[in-house]
Each structure stands twice: as structure tokens, then as C-alpha cells.
Chains A and B, each alone.
Chain A
């Protein structure tokens, strides 16, 4: 039987991460000059808010079993790109690259916690959270492919 205290700690970690991401993208949106990139960061902040609310729903209803399937595929595009620095003159490509790298870090974070978990239940919970972040990464990787490889000469 999973310890309720462990579940609570887990949700604290997860929601804190979503909150931090929300704060990061909101601050980034205020910082950048390009209107397209600003809109992109605003949307990402909104997405993180949505993720936060999703986790809160699970948190407030402990009888719900978290079951988040991984995306159909992991393209591993984030893994192939370097993390660009946040800057005022960021281009859309770099903004998406930054976001997908952050999702990659989140996946790795939950995988690491899952590997260190001492009970099957917490491991399962971390796997679900990793799947959720993998889904976000997948969506951002598809966006990156749309904008990341210009045929410009």
C-alpha cells in the first residue's frame, strides 16, 4: 500500500515543477522582443498551467489511478539539439528548442525518481509523470520540425 505522505510529496514535486515552468515561460514572454516568440511563450505558460491543473485534479482525488500513456513515438529531437540560452532576440526555432529541452529534462527527472523509487506504486506514479512530460516533448518536437529547418538561400 502506498504511503499517503509519499503521494503528497510526489505531487508537491510535480506541481512545483509545473509552476516553475509556468513562471519561466511567463517571464520569458515578458522578456523577448519578437511578437511570435512572445505568443509562443505565452502559449507554453498556458500549457504549463493546464498541466498544473491536471496534477491538482489527481492530487485532490487520491482514489483516481493516474494512467497516462506515452506518445506513440519518441522522435528524440530534443536530445539531438543543444539548449539555447534565453535571450531578448530569440527566434521561434530557439524558443521551441528551449521548451522541448526543458520537457526532455522533465522526462529525465521523473525517470530518475522512478528508478530510485522504493515502492511499485511510486514508481508507477513517476512513470506516468514521465509519460506526461514525454507527451509534451513530442508535441514540441513536432512544432520544432515545422519551423526548425528552413530552406533559405
Chain B
């Protein structure tokens, strides 16, 4: 996030796109609701009628995968009406004429044809954004989990730069992270091309600095593979060994049948996790890891805040902290990392990267700090790019073009399947599916289908249905609901027995290699009568 979570409550306008915030980020959604109570205008753009839309001034139900056309249409309208912040464009951006020209192909009439949003609604949204003093923009995986995810993000950045909504409070481009500590994992260098704190591995000077700090002669300077490439290369022998920490790969990667083939092709596969899951049967070795309540360390949340996590329980059986497992492995491979605690790992990172250099465990004993926090004297940074100052000097616009989803619906597979998360479960359910409480509340996955599609297919609420894509089939219970727009069905990937990733397509964004989890073509058929779902089912999506 360029800005902070708490600032959301002060926003005059909130523009939330591709984010089921109340279910996936319930705490953050409270700040959004507080903003609405204080008089903010909330625009939710989402193909689904998520719970947050109940709080929205306006819910814009654009078609799945049409974000670029929709946003470019808004930018076009903003320029046309003179709502662009010309002073910001002049002072803080490098190539404003490029975006002015780049959105000429997207007048609202044309954008409307692509995204399915009525022209008048698009004009209304553009006016709300254009006339606002400032707007805070939030997005989540509905933006990134597409083959054009990188361009989706660039388009949102274009919008906020055109509106001058960067470098000030209650504004910014705010991706709400998909997991509690994905920010921390990225900060720590769990990426193929950077060391900790985004220091490029192919920079010889930085590589030498870190090699010296770690007491090794040199470090590889060639970026590694992204995860889809690692798996793909298993099939041609390019990946022989896979070491997998806390990732239920079989259940979370798209096209499950293909993922299994990739894992089976490995010569040696190590899995580190807290419970058995769909992936562990393919492992040659399983290391039992500690769970979050059994671990000392830090989590870094979406707003770059490094927070302490403390051990409350003794780990069961042979479970060990993963830093310890890695260290023991290192010793057996001939390198003793020499760490004595999780804090020692943090200190090692802190001392060889400046953005977190001021964050010690002592300083975050009661409240976390937001990086950049380069020195012990610095209080941390609530929002980035103050007064429109960017890393590269001035902001750079990138023109983006809409492309259709990788697998559009057709006569054989006429519906679009979109996938995501539910309030009561987390990711592949390795934790939450092992909790009796959550299972009692929401113990069975449901396929959300619109009343119009259900009627056309003769499906009633609670009926058993089969969902089939070109990659597989699952059988589950139908939830007939206007949460889904006509033409779109939805289910989560939390449930191993009916996992959405049996159906999803293994097509990826060309830059990040994030899969298009949000759009593939499927067909749905009724396979049996069922018990009607209780009226309280919609409460299950409401925190």
C-alpha cells in the first residue's frame, strides 16, 4: 500500500475494485465502513455483489476481466471533462501526453460495450472521482489474478496519477495483500529476482555486499524461476528438486491435474507444513513446521507495518520453527548460518538492508512500525511519495490495452467461473479446515450462481450440480444468489474435496506469472435435488 489502513477512514471517496474486502480483509473493511459513516462516498466496482456493496454509494458490476477497458474509459471521461489534475501531471509526471493520447481509444461508449457498464454509470463514476478532493483506491486479487494483471495494476496507477491522488493522506494505490504476511515474505526476498528489501540479485555491487555480510565468497547473480516456471520445468527435467514451505501446491495452483503431474515428475520433493494436505502425499520428505501461535517472529502487513508475533504454545511433537529447519539443513549441506533465534534472523536482515534498519524487536514491542524506517531515530513512514516524489523522479504512465480472458465462454462452456475466498476459511484450508468451529459455521463449499442462470439450467437453491471445465469436474451444492451476475458463477478453493482449482486454467500474466484464477470457461449441470439452503446462508458472507 502506498498509504495506511487507518487513513481509509478519513477518505472522502473510496474506490474499491476487485476486492471482496469484508470477507477477505474484514478488519480493513471496518475502516471503509467507518469512512462511509463519516460521509465518504464508496464506489465498489466488482462483477460480484459482495457484502461491501451494501455500504456502497454505487456498485458498478463490470464484466469479469474488463478492468482495463473500464478504467481507461473513466480516465478518458476525466480528461474530457477537465477533471485531470494538470498541476500534478505537469510537476510530478514525465509523460502526461502519452496517457492523454493512450486513452483516446476508450471513449465511455466503447468502454461500456466491453465492460458492460452503462454509459451513464461510467460518467457518474468519472464525475465522483474527478470532482473528489482525493480518492483512496484499494484493490485485491480481482485485479491481479488475470493474464493482464500487471496491466490492470498499471491502469489503476494511471488513474490515480491523472487524479493527482498520490503522495498525500487518504489517497494512493493500495493493494490489499492476499495473505497476512505476503508483504513480509516479499520484503525478506522470497522472490526469484531480489534479495531482502528488493535488492536486485543481478546487481554485482549489491550481491558482493550481501555475500560479504553472509560470509560467503559469492552469490548467484542470475534471477531464479517464478513458481509456475519451476513447476513447468519439472516436466522437462529443468527442475529436479522442489522445497516447498507452507504452500499446499496441489490445491492452490491452477489446473490441479496438471500440477500433480508436475510434482510427480520431480526427482525429490520436500514439503514443510503444519498438517497433512493434498500436497503432502507427493512429498519424499515432510518437515513438520510450527503454526503461527507456536512461533516467535514478525508479520508485515499490507501497509508495510512490521509487527511482532509471539509464541503462545509449545510446538507439538517434532514440529520446529522453519528458520531452525533451514539452519539444520544448511549445516548438513556444509554451511552453518549461525542463527540462534528468529530475532537473530531479523537482525541479520536489518543490518544489511536500509529500509528496515531502524526496526528492532524492542521498538515494535507494543506497536509495529511501517517501513521505510531506515534508522533507529526514524518513526516509520505512513504514506509514500509525499508531494508526488517517485523513486524514478517523476511518475511514468504506461498505456494499457484491454485483452479478453485467456479462455472466453463458448457454446460448450458458456459460463465464466471466478474464484476467491470466503470469510470463514483461509487459503487452502490447511489451518481452518482443521478447526471444528469454522467447519460448523461453513463446512461445505457452494457454487454461487445467478437466479437467471439457475432458472435457465433448471437448478434450484440447494440442488446438487456438476461444474465442468476443459480440465476437470467437481460436484457441489448450488447457492442461487444475486451475488453472482448472470453469466458468472463463483466458488472458493478452500475445500480439498471440491476445489475450484480442479477447474481453473493454467494461463498466466506474462510478467508476474500470476494465474488467471478469476476467469475460465465452465458449464454447470444439475445432478440431483437437494435441500434448500436456509435463509441464513447469506449471513455466512457477512462479518
Contact = CB atoms under 8 A, between A and B. Distances in A.
Interface string B352-381: 001101000000000000011011111101
B378 A75 contact: yes
Contact of B394 (A36, A77, A149): A36
Most buried by B among A35, A93, A147: A147
Contact of B374 (A73, A77, A93): A77
Contact of B186 (A91, A92, A153): A153
Contacts of A145: 372, 374, 378, 381
A76 B375 contact: yes
Given A76-B377, A80-B375, A146-B384, A151 B392 contact: no
B374 A149 contact: yes
Interface string A136-153: 000000110111111111
Contact of B194 (A79, A81, A142, A153): A153
A146 B381 CA distance: 9
Contacts of B186: 151, 153
Interface string B41-67: 000000000000000000000000000
A92 B392 contact: yes
Given A80-B357, A81-B354, A153-B194, A147 B377 contact: no
Given A77-B375, A81-B354, A92-B392, A36 B384 contact: no
Contacts of B375: 75-77, 79-80
Nearest to A36: B393
A53 interface: no
Contacts of A40: 393
B385 A80 contact: no
A17 B94 CA distance: 33
Given A76-B375, A80-B375, A146 B393 contact: no
Contacts of B371: 149
Contacts of B393: 34-37, 39-40, 91-92, 147
Contact of B392 (A36, A73, A143): A36
A73 B358 CA distance: 15
B475 to A, nearest CB: 40
Most buried by B among A34, A36, A145: A145
A93 B191 contact: no
A115 to B, nearest CB: 22
Given A80-B357, A153-B191, A153-B194, A73 B381 contact: no
Given A142-B386, A145-B374, A36 B94 contact: yes
Nearest to B391: A150
Interface string A17-29: 0000000000000
A7 to B, nearest CB: 33
B30 interface: no
B481 to A, nearest CB: 38
B152 interface: no
Interface string A59-79: 000000000000001111101
A148 B385 CA distance: 10
Q: How many A residues touch the partner, as a band?
A: 20 to 34
Interface residues of B, number: 30
Given A75-B377, A76-B375, A80-B374, A93 B391 contact: yes
A79 B357 CA distance: 13
Given A151-B198, A153-B191, A146 B386 contact: yes
A13 to B, nearest CB: 29
Interface string B85-102: 000000000100000000
Contact of B377 (A39, A74, A151): A74
B355 A146 contact: no
Contacts of B94: 35-36
Contacts of A74: 377
Contacts of A150: 198, 391
B390 interface: yes
Interface string B321-362: 000000000000000000000000000000000110100000
A98 B539 CA distance: 57
A92 B372 CA distance: 17
A58 to B, nearest CB: 29
A81 B375 CA distance: 10
B468 interface: no
A149 B355 contact: yes
A102 B392 CA distance: 22
Nearest to A147: B391
B3 interface: no
A152 B391 contact: yes
Contact of A149 (B191, B372, B377): B372
12 contacts: A35-B94, A75-B378, A76-B377, A77-B378, A91-B392, A92-B390, A145-B378, A148-B372, A148-B374, A151-B198, A153-B191, A153-B198
Given A35-B94, A40-B393, 17 more contacts: A35-B393, A76-B375, A76-B376, A80-B357, A81-B354, A143-B389, A146-B384, A146-B385, A146-B389, A147-B389, A149-B354, A149-B374, A151-B186, A151-B198, A152-B198, A153-B186, A153-B191
